[in-house]
Structure 1
Amino acid sequence: MSSEYQIGREKDEEFTYRGHTLDELQEMELDEVAELLPARQRRTITRGLTVEQEKLLETARARTEEETANDPIRTHLRNMIVLPEFVGLTFAVYTGQEFERVKVEPEMIGHYLGEFQLTRSSVEHGQAGIGATRSSKFVPLK
C-alpha cells in the first residue's frame, strides 16, 4: 500500500493538520484557524462564538498559561469546537448524568467535544428469567 493512502500517522511522524504543524496552528489567530476547519465549524466561528463558548475559550487559554493541565475544565458545552489551543488539556464533558473526562489529542482538532463522550450507554440484554413473561410463570413439578 502506498504512503498516500495510509490512514493516520506513524509514531515518529509529526502531526499535521491540513499542511500545518501543531506549533504553527497554536500560534495562529482564531480567524486563521477557522479557514482550515470544515465548513460547519468555520461558519460557527465566523458568525461568532456564544458567550459561554468565549468564556470556555478564555478559561482554556488561562489554563495553558498556568501549566495546570491536570485539573479538568468542567463544561456542559458539547458543541464547542476543539481548537489547537485545547491540545493537552483535559475537559470534563457533561453527558446528561455525569461529567466524564476527555483528554484532547491533536487528532481531535476540528471536531466537537460532545463527539468524544457518548450520552447513551449500550444495553446488553440477558436471557429471560422466571417471571419475565406470563408463560414463564408455569414451572413443571417434575
Structure 2
Amino acid sequence: MSSEYRTGREGEFTYRGHTLDELQDLELDEVAELLPARARRTITRGLGVQQQKLLADAREATEEESANDPLRTHLRDMPVLPEFVGLTFEVYDGSHFERVKVEPEMIGHYLGEFNLTRNSVEHGQAGIGATRSSKFVPLK
C-alpha cells in the first residue's frame, strides 16, 4: 500500500520517522504517542462508543479489501489514524455527506477538517424592500 504514496526526500512517506507500514502495525496507544497533543488527548481519554464503532468498521473494511465502499459518519471529531489511509469516508457537514478520501498526509488531523461546514457567500443585487441607498447599482 505504501508504494503508491511517494513524498519526502527518500521518496517514501514518513510520519515522525515511521513509514506508513510501520504506523499501521503499531497499537493504538503507540500511535497516540506520535500524534499531536489534541488528537493524543482524545485517544488517551478514551474514544467514545460511536468512535470505537467507526474504528471497528474501518478495521473491518480494510480486512475485507472493500476500500471502495465509503463509511458514513457524523463524527467530525474522529482523529485520522494510520488504519484509515486508503479508505473513503462520507462526513456529514450539517446538510449532506461529503466524500473524504484519506491520504497519509491527513494522519493526526480530524475528519471534520476536510469537510467544511460553511459555504462562501456571494452577494447579489439589492432586492425588494432594500433601502434607497442600497438599490443603487452603478452602470459599467
**How well do the aligned residues superpose, as a CA RMSD in angstroms?**
1.8
Q: Aligned-pair distance for 1:46?
A: 1.0
Is the contact between residue 8 and residue 14 of structure 2 (CA under 8 Å) also seen in structure 1? no
Aligned counterpart, 1:26: 24
Give how far 1:11 is off: 8.8
What TM-score do the two structures reach when normalised by structure 1? 0.84
Amino acid aligned to 1:110 = G
Answering whether residue 59 of structure 2 is matched by residue 61 of structure 1, we say: yes
Q: Alignment identity in percent? A: 75
* Distance of aligned partners of 1:58 and 1:121 in 2 relative to their CA distance in 1, 3 Å threshold: same
Aligned to 2:13: 15
For 1:45 and 1:127, the matched residues in 2 are separated by 49
Using the alignment, how far apart are the partners of 2:63 and 2:9 within structure 1?
Answer: 28
Once residues 75 and 11 of structure 1 are traced to their aligned partners in structure 2, the CA distance between those partners, rounded to angstroms, is 35
Q: Distance in 1 between matches of 2:47 and 2:30?
A: 15
Correspondence 1:133 to 2:123: no
Instruction: Compare CA radii of gyration and give the structure with the larger one.
Output: 1
Distance 1:42 1:10 in 2: 24
**2 CA distance for matches of 1:18 and 1:133?**
56
Would you say the 8 A contact 2:84–2:102 is kept in 1?
Answer: yes
Q: How far off is 1:127 after superposition? A: 3.2
**Alignment gaps of 5+ in structure 1:** 1-8, 138-142
Question: What stretches of structure 2 of length at least 5 have no aligned partner?
Answer: 1-6
Question: In the comparison of the two structures, how many residue pairs are matched?
Answer: 128
